[in-house]
Chain A
Amino acid sequence: MLFDRWRRGRAKGAAGGERMSRREFLRGLGGVGALLGIGASAGAAGSRAGRDNTVWQIDPDVCVQCGNCEVNCVLKPSAVKCVHAYAICGYCDLCSGYFRPGAPELDTGAEFQVCPTGAIQRSFVEDPFYEYAIDEELCIGCGKCVAGCQAFGNGSLFLQVRHDRCLNCNSCSIAGKCPSGAFRRVPASRPYLLKGVEA
């Protein structure tokens, strides 16, 4: 079509009403080229496309509880929170995720707790078991309790990105600082990497 108009334009000469200038012709040609370029990139990228959106998540088996989650999130407090997998918790009286090392046994004073914000609520279940629940409003995602539980307990406390808070930045600022590579994109339909849940 483009070439037809051009040839007609050339045949008719300058006087022709439908004459197409060289500039117009080149512009048309460039337009076709741009269309092909967009189409090619769409095809190439489209062949790698997935229907599902992606979100950020922490792989708890890789996480080293370095504390970067607390300070590097664009949100204050961080969208990373501690999550408790009750199914693998030992319900210990002396919980290494709750008490500081060397704390006098059974003294739940704030100065003896691992959590800097007192976000872990300890409650009696039955002798000798205690339940530990996370108050997400208070949790800042520092991972201190996770480190304690990992070191001496069952590892039932772990960090996860909470998607009701996370802004899902295209370039997660925590992921860029994560020393162990525990942050990764996961499909939005399976947005958590939970412990103690049969996959």
Chain B
Amino acid sequence: MRAPASRLELGARPRNQGLRRAALVVVIAGLVLAPRLFGYDRFPRPEFESGYLLPDSPTPEPRSVFLEYLDVGVLAAALMLSAFLALKVRRRWALAALSLFSLAYFGFWRRGCVCPVGSIQNVALALSDPGYALPIPVLAFFLLPLAATLLFGRTFCGAVCPLGAIQDLVLIKPVRIPRWLGQVLGVMPYLYLGLTILFVVTGTGFLTCRFDPFVSVFRLSGGLAIVIFSLSFVALSLFVGRPYCRFLCPYGVLLGWISRFSRRHVTITPEECVRCRLCSDACPYDAIQEAGPDQAAAARLEDRRTDVRRFGIVLLAIPVMIGAFAWAGSRLNGFLAQMNPTVRLARQVVLEDRGEAEETTLESRTFRASGTPGEELLAEAAAVQRGFAVGGWILGGFVGLVLGFRLLSLAVPRFRRDSEPDRAACVSCGRCFAACPIEHRRRAPLREARV
């Protein structure tokens, strides 16, 4: 072995060795990966002599795009018709017939997807994930009911939404739930909306779709747990008016906000209200703000200073509530992040590495087989957890704000001369029309004249 002639040569030898080693690694990797990467040629393709032709593998097409746009057209037509029936025709049976159609078309025939309620998630995904192209029919399903609500109130809920229709049509014996309970449960849709968006933004999944209680009814299929959940919701709907719409539906939150400012809205009475309050008994959804008696109005005026003081106190309490709920929301982020598959996987992998896991999971085995570096997974999981940490604060603050506004509206009872539908809660189902004595006069003016 000769001595190295120079420092350069001394340096060159290890470099050559390194190159050779690298080449060896490439060759071995190539041998292992070749069938995976280059057409799976473990066995040569046969050359047939008998004139055998390769059969085609059929590729059945998905539902045609034309049908998707047809659905959008049917939705638009149903929205216009429901507004016309609720505002002009004013007959419950007509609205019920349209509900039946919507249930059959959007529910049982189209089998539920995509619905405006679920489309919130697609829109949130499109806004948060640049890799997702939002299909135009889905965007239309999201926007059309919002636009219709801005014009005519929540007529979408009343007779077009299949989820609303199934609950409305099975309601046979409405039980009035206590006011306080209704108010408390009424906050849940806001929480659900916030959670739904948080889950989409953090890549955790489509919460609203996963816990849609009616889609398995429309499809007449599903796992045991979801079928039990579905059936119990349908059973509940027999006695409690629209439990999903009032106490869960995240889309109803958006519609409620818009409906407050709608250009027109269903009216209970066609003319002057006689303050009989019969309509309140007819409404199964507690969506009527009753006309107050005259004495109460006078008493209210005297109490004005107490009202103002109470209003001020609640107003000052709102920032405190936002802060408190935001803090509570941030405490929840560890629990919520566990719902995320990436976070769950990272946790499992770390536990296995430490030897603390009882057994490996399918996910962790798949992850290890994929050869992705563990650091990549941990970084990804950490990013998701940061998302949940920030989202938890925002979600909590949002719920605090909603509660604050709810208290504010309760702090100053407003005196009403006429019974009016609560624009945010009324779904234009049309049950109150027939209860109104003035409406009866409108419907049969001739009979009235003869008497």
Contacts and interface: CB of A to CB of B under 8 A. Distances in A.
Interface stretch (A9-17, A82-90, A103-111, A137-145): A82-90
B133 A48 contact: yes
Contacts of A195: 40
Interface string A144-187: 00000000111110000011101111110100100110000101
Contacts of A83: 57
Contacts of B54: 86-87
A163 B209 contact: no
| Interface range on chain A (Cβ under 8 Å from partner) | 35 or more
Contact of B65 (A33, A168, A188): A188
A195 B35 CA distance: 13
Nearest to B42: A154
Contacts of A167: 111, 113, 219
Contacts of B206: 170-171
A187 B68 CA distance: 14
A162 B60 contact: yes
A170 B121 contact: yes
Nearest to A31: B261
Instruction: Kindly state the interface size class of chain B when it binds its partner.
Output: 35 or more
A155 B40 contact: yes
A50 B133 contact: yes
B139 to A, nearest CB: 5
A27 B260 contact: yes
Given A74-B222, A88-B45, A125-B48, A33 B123 contact: no
Nearest to A167: B111
Contact of B362 (A84, A86, A91, A179): A179
Interface string A26-57: 01101101110010011011101111111100
A34 B57 contact: no
A168 B118 CA distance: 13
Interface in B13-54: 35-36, 39-46, 48-50, 52, 54
Contact of A192 (B43, B59, B118, B219): B59
B43 A154 contact: yes
B128 to A, nearest CB: 10
B65 A52 contact: yes
Given A167-B219, A168-B63, A45 B40 contact: no
Contacts of B61: 163-164, 191
B45 A171 contact: no
A20 to B, nearest CB: 14
Interface stretch (B141-149, B169-177, B239-247, B398-406): B141-149
B209 A194 contact: no
A58 B65 CA distance: 21
B50 A38 contact: no
A171 to B, nearest CB: 4
B244 to A, nearest CB: 17
B79 interface: no
Interface string A116-143: 0000000001100101010000000000
Contacts of B59: 191-192, 194
Given A30-B261, A170-B121, A176-B205, A90 B44 contact: yes
Contacts of A191: 59, 61-62
A66 B277 CA distance: 62
A41 B145 CA distance: 14
Given A155-B40, A156-B40, A192-B59, A49 B135 contact: yes
A85 B115 CA distance: 36
B95 to A, nearest CB: 24
B43 A41 contact: no
Interface in B205-239: 205-206, 209-210, 215-216, 219, 221-222
A12 B191 CA distance: 45
B262 interface: yes
B1 to A, nearest CB: 48
B48 A126 contact: yes
Tell me which of B39, B48, B68, B257 has the highest count of chain A C-beta atoms within 10 A of its own C-beta: B39
B295 interface: no
Nearest to B60: A164
Given A92-B43, A154-B41, A169 B113 contact: yes
A118 B370 CA distance: 31
A44 B40 CA distance: 44
Contacts of A85: 57
Contact of A38 (B118, B143, B210): B143
B45 to A, nearest CB: 7
Interface in B133-173: 133-139, 142-143, 146-147, 150
Nearest to B362: A179
A28 B261 CA distance: 7
A171 B122 CA distance: 10
Given A27-B261, A52-B65, A126-B50, A41 B123 contact: yes
A126 B49 contact: yes
A87 B115 CA distance: 40
Interface of B: 35-36, 39-46, 48-50, 52, 54-55, 57, 59-63, 65, 68, 111, 113-115, 118-119, 121-123, 126-127, 130, 132-139, 142-143, 146-147, 150, 205-206, 209-210, 215-216, 219, 221-222, 257-258, 260-263, 341, 362-363, 365-367, 369-370
Given A45-B142, A188-B63, 18 more contacts: A28-B261, A38-B146, A49-B133, A50-B136, A52-B133, A64-B369, A68-B362, A75-B221, A76-B221, A90-B42, A131-B52, A152-B42, A168-B62, A168-B113, A179-B362, A179-B363, A180-B370, A192-B59
13 contacts: A28-B261, A41-B143, A45-B127, A83-B57, A88-B39, A88-B45, A154-B42, A166-B62, A170-B118, A170-B122, A171-B121, A192-B59, A196-B39
- The 9 lowest CB-CB distance pairs between A and B, nearest first, are A90-B43, A50-B133, A171-B206, A171-B209, A164-B60, A30-B261, A163-B62, A155-B40, A31-B261
